[in-house]
Structure 1
Amino acid sequence: MKTLHPESKIVNSWSILIVLTTIYNYIFIPFQMATKGSIISNSVLDLGFFLDLGFDSILIFDLLLRFNVGYIERGQFINDKAHVRKNYLQTDFKRHLLSCIPIDIVARLFYPNLAVWIIALLRIPRLLRVFDSLSASKVWEDSINSNPVIVRLLRLLFVIFLVEHWVACIWFLIRNINISFHGYLQALYWSVMTLTTVGYGNIVADEQTVQELGFTIFVMMLGVTMYAFIIGNVASVITDMNASQSRFREKLDRIQTYLREKKVPQGLQKKVRSYYQYMWEYNRDTSTDFLSVEQYYLNDLPRSLSTQISLCLNQKLIESVPMFKGAEPQFIEQILAKLRPIVLPPEDYVIHEGQIGHEMYFINHGEVQVFSEKDNKIIENMESGSFFGELALLDSVRRTASVKTLTYCELFVLEKSDFAQVMADYPNFADKIEEIAEKRRQENQSDSIG
């Protein structure tokens, strides 16, 4: 069998089954021990037996599968079979082996009338798998397809539920509550009330036995600790969710205060506020100082990785330009590295008719209008994926039309000097571009946006 990557889809999908198995055991083992199986019908007990058998089979299969799952060491994927086996035997193997030994199944075969709570007691080693579930949740938290804040919040809520469930089962057992599902709900109510320090279970101390008093005191102390744990974690989650928005509000407040102090006209203040609000929607993070998200985060990556991401995001924009078609991949990569992102508000001029051009533009998002100021005529509207001003890269020509934004526009700018620098490294392709440009001058001289 081929060695699997620990972050592959197969392993991640399999880890979901392991988590479900752990959840099943953490819920039903204490429940069966507390109720002694008395509130469960025989048909449900039979179903439980087959569920136990099925989940145990998953754990046994997982034990064998782990011998074929590689591991990451110092950023390197280790897939050598001998190293993988040795690593597994030295780390999780003993715990996994102990957790999947079917002692309860064997006991049922030799003692068919064995009490349900004893069978549940024999299944306690299954709970050792909780460490695998925690590791899986960490992997999901770091997954590119999930929101880490939501994963942390769900994990916190589930841990809280499990603690309350276990406390309820223990209280159910020592309190000798009426053995029924309603009795379990009463115990769960007491558990929630006590752990959340709301009413400490509404139990009068004089009416409790020594065991009940001792357990109640323990749960109260646990509740205080758990309360602090919950508040701290929830506060951390909320802070993570709103950190970017808080920075944005703080920055916007400072800017608005400055504009008011300088007595800037209300209309202009409104435009500035609208611009910043759009930039918030565009970036979702003011820690970038309103740079492009790509520009901000890619600066920290190695050049090879940042180039691959730029290719993935913007390659189609470059390849849509006729004179760049058929270019070498390395040429496209260098052009992408020279692109400079800008964001413009509505009704803002990108270029003016008659100006000498020094750059071309790619529309990543938004809509612009091309028009002639001299003839007072609209030539065309251009949307995402379009480009204009490409002749300025080849000649020092004046713009033959004006371009202004109709909506908020996210543009990429390619400067003439940067283009010339790239072309110097590709002289053969430079000749081809000159031929294409000359043909375009002749065909579209009347309406091109040079």
Structure 2
Amino acid sequence: MTDTKQEADFLIHPENTFLYIWQLFMVALVLFSAISLPLYAVFAKDIPVLLIIIVFLFFCDIFINLRVAVKTKNGFCWETAEILKSYRKGFFIPDMIAALPWWLPVALLFKNEEPGIITRFLFLLPLIKILKIGHYLQVFEKSLTINPTIIRLIKFIVLVGIIAHWLASGWVLIGPVKEGLPADDFSKYIRALYWCITTIATVGYGDISPDLSQNHQIIYTMFSMILGVGIYGYVIGNVASLLANIDVAKANFMRRMEEINSFIKNKKIPLEIAQKILDYYNYLWETQQGGNDSQVMNELPQSLSIEVSMYLNKTIIQKVPFFTKMNEVFIREIIMQLEPLIFLPQDYIVRRGEFGDCMFFLSAGSVDVKGSNGELYATLGEGAFFGEMSLIRGEKRNAYIMAREYCDVYRLTKESFDELRRKYPDFDQQVIETVAERDAMNKKKTEKPAAPVKKQ
């Protein structure tokens, strides 16, 4: 189905920005309803206007859900019948219950009276929409970069808060009224919330307790106690683990550092070398947060791995003169041949006099190019490359290249380079032309003009 047809039918793509914002609004509305509707059910003297608005918005949500394409294994299904079928298997019934004004017939029948117990109960039916909040949150969690443990902790805190609020609202409705205490709605709710917290926290001071002559108060209290014991047990069993796993990467890094320290101690590594080892692992933590980029890339499908590598390295590759005119197929292949390396400050990446069997691309950091006596020729920064001429000719290096700081580089070996020259004749010709141009430039620089002949 074409985009034009989709727009004509008012169909919405599941990844549409409007749908994302609407679902976010629904989460906020459901949470607001979870707080406000119990209060309306307890304290309302008439049909609340906000209740009418909430029900109307829930009905709008049904209409929007009926216009959202269904995601399948082969893409998206835009057929209205399939959308309805999928919705009916999901949250259609809870959404319909939440969106209908069940209290309206009762309110019209007893319009001159204060809402009774049945009407107040019907006020709570839209709360069934809370069953769908988990579905909404799954959508948002996929696009968030927040630690999943933190999300779980926040959801647990919100859940406990809502349960406490509901229990407190119920206690306002059925709990005993003590003489001499403030009788306004706010004071009633605060005392009920105090009773609820002391009950589910298994503290139970006893200053607010059920009337032993009222069975419904006793049953409600026992239910709250059982629920409180369950929450308390969950807290004891899980919160400590949740807190410990808030920063899993940091915990893994600390365990790794313990192993490194043990290795240094057992092998009696000299202090200077030991400090370099520790500095190296601290650098890995600062730049990669304990992750392993190579492992992640190896786990990705080949097509996706190439796409990520292209994004990270294409700019660097295209700065090399004999790569500039090559097509994207060639660039993709050469990028997959690159080997990531890390060099410490003052490390020699290239040494004068050694045979060149690779070239380097500087991804991060800076290096110094030095002569045989330590004189500084140049300083290269991020995006630079070096070692290409020795790689082509197999000659000895003519300079030292030393890391000024921690450097992330990519290495291209001579074997990979020569293989590319064999596979791509255009590239081989580009290399030959580039070498010839450089030789001509170097010859021109070294030639001195002949001294003028003096006339006798």
Shift of 1:353: 1.6
Partner of 2:186: 181
Displacement after TM superposition at 1:223 (Å): 1.0
Q: Which residue of 1 aligns with 2:352?
A: 353
Quote the Cα distance in structure 2 between the aligned partners of 1:153 and 1:75.
35
Of 32, 38, 48, which residue of structure 2 is paired with 1:30?
Answer: 38
What is the alpha-carbon root mean square deviation over aligned residues?
2.7
Instruction: Tell me, yes or no, if the aligned pair for 1:29 and 1:120 is still in contact at 8 Å.
Output: no
TM-score where L is the length of structure 2:
0.85
- Return the offset for 1:302: 1.5
Q: 1:66 to 1:445 in 2, by over 3 A?
A: farther
Question: Which residue, out of 280, 287, 295, partners 1:282?
Answer: 287
Question: In structure 2, what is the equivalent of residue 344 of structure 1?
Answer: 343
Alignment-mate amino acid for residue 361 of structure 1:
F
Cα distance in 1 for partners of 2:13, 2:146 equals 19
Code of the residue aligned with 2:175 in structure 1: it is R
CA distance in 2, matches of 1:113, 1:388: 89
Deviation at 1:9, TM superposition (A): 2.5
In structure 1, what is the equivalent of residue 163 of structure 2? Answer: 163
The aligned residue for residue 22 of structure 2 is 14
Structure number with greater Rg is 2
Give the conservation status (yes or no) of the 8 Å contact 2:211–2:217.
no
The 5-angstrom pairing of residues 404-443 of structure 1 reads: 404-443=402-441
The answer (yes or no) to whether the contact 1:392–1:416 under 8 Å persists in 2 is: no
Residues 308 and 98 from structure 1, CA distance in 2 versus in 1: closer, same or farther, beyond 3 angstroms? same
What is the aligned counterpart of 1:394 among 388, 392, 395? 392
Q: Distance in 1 between matches of 2:129 and 2:443?
A: 73
Select the residue among 1, 9, 12 that pairs with 1:4. Answer: 12
How far residue 119 of structure 1 moved from its aligned partner, in angstroms, is: 5.0
Q: Runs of 5+ in structure 1 lacking a partner?
A: 39-44
Q: Are the equivalent residues in 1 in contact too, given 2:107–2:115 (CA < 8 A)?
A: no
The 3 A distance-change label for structure 1 pair 446 and 20 is farther
Residues 206 and 391 of structure 1: CA distance in aligned 2, closer, same or farther (over 3 Å): same
Letter in 2 for 1:413: R
Aligned length: 430
**C-alpha displacement at 1:413, in angstroms?**
1.3
Alpha carbons of structure 1 residues 394 and 191: separation in structure 2 relative to 1, 3 Å: same
> 1:101-157: CA deviations, max 9, x gaps?
123456656755453566543232212211221111122222254443332222221
Distance apart, 1:337 and its partner CA: 0.8
Describe the shift of the 1:420–1:3 C-alpha distance in structure 2 as closer, same or farther (beyond 3 A): farther
Quick one: structure 1 residues 187 and 60, their matched pair in 2 at CA, closer, same or farther if it must change by over 3 Å?
A: same
Distance 1:279 1:228, change over 3 A: same
**Structure 2 vs 1, CA of residues 156 and 206 (structure 1 numbering), >3 Å: closer, same or farther?**
closer
Residue 328 of structure 2 is aligned to residue 329 of structure 1 = yes
Matched with 1:102 is: 101
Higher mean Cα deviation, 403-412 or 424-433? 424-433
Give the aligned partner of residue 238 of structure 1. 243
1:35-434 aligned at under 5 Å gives the runs: 36-37=43-44, 49=49, 51-74=50-73, 76-104=75-103, 112-115=111-114, 119-177=119-177, 178-197=183-202, 199-203=203-207, 208=212, 209-285=214-290, 288=292, 293=293, 295-372=294-371, 374-434=372-432
- Report the identity percentage: 27
The separation in 2 between residues aligned to 1:172 and 1:402, in whole angstroms, is: 81
The 1:395–1:25 alpha-carbon spacing in structure 2 relative to 1, beyond 3 Å, is same
Displacement of 1:166 in angstroms is 0.6
**For residues 195 and 438 of structure 1, do their structure 2 counterparts lie closer, same or farther at Cα, with a shift above 3 Å needed?**
farther
Question: Cα distance 1:278–1:58, how it changes in 2: closer, same or farther (>3 A)?
Answer: same
> How many Å separate the matches in 2 of 1:440 and 1:120?
88
8 Å Cα contact 1:142-1:148 kept in structure 2 = no
> Which amino acid in 1 is paired with 2:34?
Y
**Cα 1:21–1:206, aligned 2, differ >3 Å: closer, same or farther?**
closer
5+ residue gaps, structure 2, are: 1-8, 178-182, 446-456
In 1, Cα distance between equivalents of 2:227 and 2:157: 16
The question of whether the paired residues in 2 share the 8 Å contact of 1:72 and 1:78 is answered with: yes
User: Could you tell me whether the CA contact under 8 Å between 1:71 and 1:78 is conserved in 2?
Assistant: yes
Residues 395/241 of structure 1: CA separation in 2 closer, same or farther (3 Å cut): farther
1:79-118, Cα deviation, whole Å (9 max, x unpaired): 3333222222333223222221123456656755453566
SS in 1 for 2:397: coil
Counterpart residue identity of residue 313, structure 1: L
Q: CA deviation at 1:173?
A: 1.6
Using a 3 Å threshold, how does the CA distance of structure 1 residues 363 and 116 change in structure 2: closer, same or farther?
farther
Partner of 1:279: helix, strand, or coil?
helix
Tell me how far 1:412 sits from its aligned partner: 1.4
SS at match of 2:310: helix
Query: Which shifted more, 67-76 or 106-115?
Result: 106-115
